[in-house]
Amino acid sequence: MELASAAWQTDLGLWGLFLASFLAATILPFSSEAVLAAFTMGSWPLGTLWLVASLGNWLGGMSSYGVGRLGNLERIAKWLRTDPTRALKWQARTERYGAWAALLCWLPVIGDPIAIAMGLGRTRLIPTALLMFIGKAARYGGVLWFFR
């Protein structure tokens, strides 16, 4: 299945973009930027692509936040195969910066641990959600600007 093929875009549609964006915001290694770039070759309006990708990625990031909020530091560190002292450092950083750290959840590799650490640190939900959306939406805005 060729990435730029119109057939897979038609088959999956915007739900496929949403799912790709959601999965990319979890600990699964996945590039939603490539999928979004392929969608720019289709007939969808850029605003729609931006909104669908941003919402999917934001909800994926918020699910990582939820895992941290519901979880236990030692268990999550073991599940992520990281040293618990390293996880404690991430938690301390999020407690230091609070919800503002959510602006960095779009970053590759470290964005997901930041979201989980914010949940573990019990950052306030509304500011965390809002700032996470802003960061992720800005990233997708940049991708769309580049590929327009």
pLDDT digits (tens, 9 = 90+) for 42-87: 889 999 999 999 999 999 999 999 988 987 777 777 776 777 777 6
For the cut 50, the answer to whether the pLDDT of residue 2 exceeds it is: no
Return the higher-pLDDT residue of 75 and 143: 143
Q: Average of pLDDT values for 89-107?
A: 83
Average pLDDT, the chain: 85
Q: Average of pLDDT values for 98-114?
A: 90
- Determine contact, residues 100/129, Cβ cutoff 8 Å: no
Residue ranges covered by each domain of the chain:
6-147
Cα–chain center distance at 65: 10
pLDDT at 10: 55
